[in-house]
Amino acid sequence: MNILVTGGNGQLGSELKHIAFQYPQLNCMFTDVEELDITNQDDIISYVEEHNVGLIINCAAYTAVDKAESDIERARIINATAVKNLIKACELSSAKLIHISTDYVFNGEAFCPLKESDQVIPLGVYGLTKLEGEQYVVSSNEEGIIIRTSWLYSSFGNNFVKTMMRLGVERESLGVIFDQVGTPTYAADLAGAIMSIINSNEKLDKKGKVYHYSNEGVASWYDFALAIFELSGIKCIVNPIEASEYPTPAKRPYYSVLNKKKIKNDFNISIPYWRDSLRSCLYEIEKSN
Ligand SMILES: NC(=O)c1ccc[n+]([C@@H]2O[C@H](COP(=O)([O-])OP(=O)(O)OC[C@H]3O[C@@H](n4cnc5c(N)ncnc54)[C@H](OP(=O)(O)O)[C@@H]3O)[C@@H](O)[C@H]2O)c1
């Protein structure tokens, strides 16, 4: 099968590229905005037709959560309108779609892990535009699924893990938010899960289109930072602070732990605990330095 991966230079796209060689039966074609801008409908349609694409994995997104608050139109074009382009190309070529979305579609007022059917109320432009993208997929008749994930990090690209590692050696102490709770997700694990889903040969719309995937367990950003320092041997004091002490342009959910029962059951996936995956990522970061 020919697979088009958009946003191929991002965290998730890079992790998919890293493991694609393990699946020689899948011909993965990785593109990013320079080669294939998903906001250009004609280009997307031609690419999918010319390369006989059978599946699109959409990893492309506008992910700058705070910047999106003042760059609404650009965020909407990439996170929502462009998803319509991908769906159109899928319709014309009978291709399937795996679309990636976010825990930021939730408002954070839940108190137990969020199911796919729970009410979505985004707090900011990023979450809102990602939700609009989801809605195009849900209302299309094409075969496809949405995978919502949370707190993504990787040895590729910039993310919370790398920021903490940089600040942890520069400073003696850091204040990190303790009253936002979720689950970190190692993008390598999500990439592996996506490949398992594709290989499972299960239909991609058999039990509803939305799935949740994060690593197992629960953490605050404070717990996450402590674990990063502990596992990488960085001596930096971490002080818990409230989100209100670290104001950002975009509001973020206080609680966005995802319930992953559906994806585990439907696709027979086992998911690693977040601290174990963090250890694996730190090992990869160390290897690349
Ligand atoms: N990062 C997180 O914490 C997080 C959490 C939950 C869900 N997610 C979702 O997970 C998915 C993957 O996230 P990620 O962290 O891998 O994102 P990422 O590292 O920001 O990668 C996204 C990629 O898409 C590219 N892109 C932007 N506009 C494009 C366009 N018009 N056409 C083609 N490519 C374009 C970006 O290029 P530029 O860098 O040049 O813009 C970048 O290479 C996204 O759907 C995201 O919303 C992420």
> What is the pLDDT tens value at each position of the chain, 289 positions in all?
999 999 999 999 999 999 999 999 999 999 999 999 999 999 999 999 999 999 999 999 999 999 999 999 999 999 999 999 999 999 999 999 999 999 999 999 999 999 999 999 999 999 999 999 999 999 998 889 999 999 999 999 999 999 999 999 999 999 999 999 999 999 999 999 999 999 987 778 755 699 999 999 999 999 999 999 999 999 999 999 999 999 999 999 999 999 999 999 999 999 999 999 999 999 999 999 8
Structure confidence at residue 208 (pLDDT): 65
Structure tokens at 67: 């910047």
Kindly indicate whether the domain formed by 2-157+185-216+256-273 is annotated with CATH number 3.20.20.370.
Answer: no
**Domain extent listing, the chain:** 2-157+185-216+256-273
C-beta 32 within 6 A of ligand 1 = yes
Structure confidence at residue 206 (pLDDT): 53
Residue 58 Cα to ligand 1 middle (Å) = 9
Instruction: Tell me the helices (H) and strands (E) count for the chain, helix number first.
Output: 10, 12
The values of phi and psi at residue 29, to 5°, are -115, 115
Query: How far apart, in whole angstroms, are the C-alpha atoms of residue 1 and residue 195?
Result: 12
Residue 186 Cα to ligand 1 middle (Å) = 15
Nearest 5°: CA angle at 104, between 65 and 98?
A: 100
Atom number, ligand 1, closest to the C-alpha of residue 156: 19
Structure confidence at residue 203 (pLDDT): 76
Sheet holding 55-58, edge to edge: 27-30, 2-6, 55-58, 96-102, 144-149, 210-212
The yes-or-no answer on residue 273 being catalytic is no
Query: How far apart, in whole angstroms, are the C-alpha atoms of residue 151 and residue 159?
Result: 9
Residue 87 Cα to ligand 1 middle (Å) = 18
Q: Is 218 exposed, middle or buried (0-12, 13-18, 19+ CB in 10 A)?
A: middle
CB within 8 A of 167, min separation 6: which ones? 174, 236
Structure confidence at residue 156 (pLDDT): 97
Structure confidence at residue 141 (pLDDT): 84
C-beta 153 within 6 A of ligand 1 = no
Select from 32, 36, 128 the residue to mutate for testing ligand 1; criterion: most ligand atoms less than 8 Å from CB.
32
C-beta 241 within 6 A of ligand 1 = no
Of 62, 126, 153, 254, which is the active-site residue? 126
Atom number, ligand 1, closest to the C-alpha of residue 12: 16
CB 5 within 8 A of CB 30: yes
Amino acid identity, position 14: S
